[in-house]
Structure 1
């Protein structure tokens, strides 16, 4: 992927413009007196850890989130701001990043917009990574056997026949990665009853995503136990549905021998 950019660096911010009017990324090295010329998607960082992703109208920027650096993205005209915000939030959650004060409802992105949006999002992520801001969780040093936060996994017919068991965060279930883009959650799964709350008592974004997935399958659940087999789209959805995420679900699905789904499928 080749991306042509124009860059202007000052003492307090770096402005990165995509050529051909494909939008602007601005890196603010301050949390004071930020004035947005256009509506934008923002990423807030505190001590180099991403703490919040959202969107803001033009004007003086205000938030209750503690941060010391800010990234804003003003996309090209054909990119819907809310859809870009949703994709960046999803990317962060899949990387294990815990976001503060995301009070918005998850946005459903139409299939007609997905291809263009994903291409643009990937370009933005590439630029941010090259400038030292990868959209990955800032983690404490791990043991030698620990895996990267973002790993690639490969589905195989062999894996599709294996039952994996989940016993974590008040939930117990049996699941199979039975098709490339489908997870089968067997009937009788016990779900976490109440979603965890943020420090201020509000629901976090993962909790809201989990509630939305539960609403889609509410006819197959009674007293927080599934009454029928349920098809979900991914390992991430299984975690959100059962226990509102908050952990790496690839490590929570374990076969009868103690081998995790991650060990079975991770691409080295």
Structure 2
């Protein structure tokens, strides 16, 4: 199955322009659980409500803004944002520097994307791949994805170019903000030697296939067992609301019936009064 293309553009490598496509290299396998109303087992909806007006807000009534101080905003309309986004996305992604992968701490890495060549870009793609592999370097670039500028590195993964977005320095929190980290605690040489021995015993070659998500597997097994045992629930179908036309017709008919009954009672009362006068 071909991986969906999520971004198209051009990467410049010196005077070489490479048309490329990005494809998400990873996927989230978390088991998504829905929240149901305990009474009728219907999935819960989440409404957007204005806390000031205490009213549900429709999508067309929502605008975007930047809060520069408490309850102080700079409003930005969609046209301004779209124009800025297009202006940035139209720029070719330029490889700024080449560095060694070991120089970047893993804390900076964010998301991974496979890169494939666009139309007519096969030779230039291969050139960059071979040059990176032989030099044992990675390229550092900037790219706009989903209206956000990312710092990224381009490297070789097996036979494919891989782009990994990385955090900007100001997005990585300072380590000295971590509370209760001991500066120095005296440990004995015997304790260190024992820890080193344990590390040595557990040292192996990294094989990602040996690691599995035990919780997810156990959760899916529980779900499948409940399905097999018919321990399932079904959401109640919402009764269709009567249309305004139906409501109006019913109201008119009820009015007619009420008028007829009132007229019949009035006629009966007149006849009774007439008989009473005649007998008198």
TM-score range, shorter chain: under 0.3
Higher relative contact order (CA 8 A, sep 6+): 2
Q: Normalized against structure 1, the TM-score is what? A: 0.19
